Amino acid sequence: MELVCPAGNYQSLIKAVDNGANAVYIGLKNETNARHFAGLNFSEDDIKKAIDYAHQHKCKVYCAINTYPRQTKWERWAYSVDSAIGLGIDTLIVADIGVMDYIRNKHSEFPIHLSVQASATNLGALKFYHREFQIRRAVLPRVLSLRQVEYLAKNAPLEIEVFGFGSLCIMAEGRCYLSSYMTGESPNTQGVCSPAAYVKWEDKGSILESRLNNLLIDRFTEDETAGYPTLCKGRFEVEGKVEHALEEPTSLNTMGILPELKKAGVAAIKVEGRQRSPAYIASVTKQWRKAIDDVAIRQQRVDPKQIEQLAEFAEGAQTTIGAYERSWQ
């Protein structure tokens, strides 16, 4: 199985490559990718350096152009496609069918992977994308059970990639406009959830408050780890009880079912986290490189202690295998 790791900047890319990633995925410095945060992503000069370094170490570089263009800014998406391909990117990760059509009309043979943002969860959808746009691989949403993943991997006319580790989202992938109700900006259109310009921290002595567009999202005591203020993971008073009303912060960790994913026919394991630090990328990539090699080469299960070690990198310091264990699906 291919190990696909995130890189929000050049330093993170080096860490991913050096620690065993088979492919690294990046974004351009604009809203065409779903991690459009200040300080993240790659200029054209950065991409040239990144591709040179990765290819020297036999690692591929994928570029995510996986948000949905607004008509008034269509040219930005078209330019980003042409620029990334011209710089030597190995594959584009795309969600919007208009962008796919543009690629096929102008770069007929260039490899496209279907982004998780497209939210393709059934065989009919995967066949459509393969037939109409010659998609080579699809990244499945994190809402499917292991049995459903296995069915698609066995029957779809393309490769299947799944998320193995990283933050979870309550929304069906690619269908989140929640933050736009508070800020006017969403991951789908501008590549950012809880834009930094709207985030505010207020120190109240023993309490740290986080706000989004001046609205209170959460309060943290001194013994709690403060999370980034996203609306879906805030704590709110509901019927007199303060709780995570929508989603509790936690991370997906499928290392314990890696043999089952391999047996199912999954072609690639993806690590989430382009917004995370180079140190995080190095540690998580190293752990997953060993895990995949243990399963694929040494034909053994992953050491439970190694699985537990990943908890320190998890959101909310806790992990789950998410929808994979839903036997009723």
Decide: 98 and 106 in contact? Cβ < 8 Å: no
**Strand ranges of the sheet holding 215-221, from the earlier edge strand across to the other edge:** 199-203, 207-212, 215-221
Give the C-alpha separation, 103 to 109, whole Å.
Answer: 9
Domain identity same for 90 and 202:
no
Q: Is a pLDDT exceeding 60 seen at residue 174?
A: no
pLDDT at residue 307, rounded to an integer: 83
Has residue 89 been placed in a domain? yes
Confidence of residue 47 (pLDDT cuts 50, 70, 90): very high
DSSP 176-189: --TTHHHHS--HHH
pLDDT tens digit sequence for 82-95: 999 999 999 999 99
Number of independent structural domains in the chain: 2
Domain identity same for 36 and 131:
yes
Average pLDDT over residues 174-195: 75
Domain identity same for 83 and 220:
no
Cβ contacts of 67 within 8 Å, gap of 6 or more? 31, 32, 33, 34, 36, 95, 96, 117, 187, 188, 189, 190, 191
Report percent pLDDT > 90 for the chain.
Answer: 61
Give the C-alpha separation, 234 to 246, whole Å.
Answer: 8
Domain identity same for 8 and 131:
yes
Extract the tokens encoding 325. 């264990």
The enclosing H or E element of 242 equals: strand 241-243
CA pseudo-torsion sign 100, 139, 191, 50: negative
Q: Is a pLDDT exceeding 80 seen at residue 192?
A: no
Give the C-alpha separation, 79 to 77, whole Å.
Answer: 5
- Helix, strand, coil % in the chain, rounded to nearest 5: 40, 20, 40
pLDDT tens digit sequence for 273-312: 898 899 999 999 999 999 999 998 888 888 888 888 887 7
Has residue 175 been placed in a domain? no
Q: pTM of the prediction?
A: 0.83
Domain identity same for 257 and 145:
yes
Has residue 173 been placed in a domain? no
Domain identity same for 109 and 201:
no
pLDDT at residue 315, rounded to an integer: 67
For 270, list phi and psi in degrees, rounded to 5: -110, 135
Strand partners, 3: 269
Has residue 66 been placed in a domain? yes
Report the interhelical angle of 278-296 vs 10-18 (nearest 10°). 30
Cβ contacts of 185 within 8 Å, gap of 6 or more? 179, 192, 195
- Domain boundary, last residue among 189, 218, 243: 243
- Domain boundary, last residue among 195, 214, 243: 243
Has residue 174 been placed in a domain? no
- Domain boundary, last residue among 189, 223, 243: 243
Has residue 160 been placed in a domain? yes
pLDDT at residue 322, rounded to an integer: 72
Q: Is a pLDDT exceeding 90 seen at residue 168?
A: no
Has residue 194 been placed in a domain? yes
pLDDT tens digit sequence for 93-145: 999 999 999 999 999 999 999 999 898 999 999 999 999 999 999 999 888 88
Domain identity same for 217 and 287:
no
Report percent pLDDT > 70 for the chain.
Answer: 93
Count the neighbouring beta carbons within 10 Å of the beta carbon of residue 104: 15
Give the C-alpha separation, 42 to 227, whole Å.
Answer: 25
Domain identity same for 188 and 46:
no
Q: CA angle 266-22-105, nearest 5°?
A: 80
Residue 197, domain extent? 180-243
Domain identity same for 108 and 226:
no
Domain identity same for 99 and 238:
no
Decide: 254 and 145 in contact? Cβ < 8 Å: no
pLDDT at residue 175, rounded to an integer: 65
Give the C-alpha separation, 329 to 324, whole Å.
Answer: 9
What CATH number did the domain enclosing 49 receive?
A: 3.20.20.70
Domain identity same for 222 and 267:
no
Has residue 119 been placed in a domain? yes
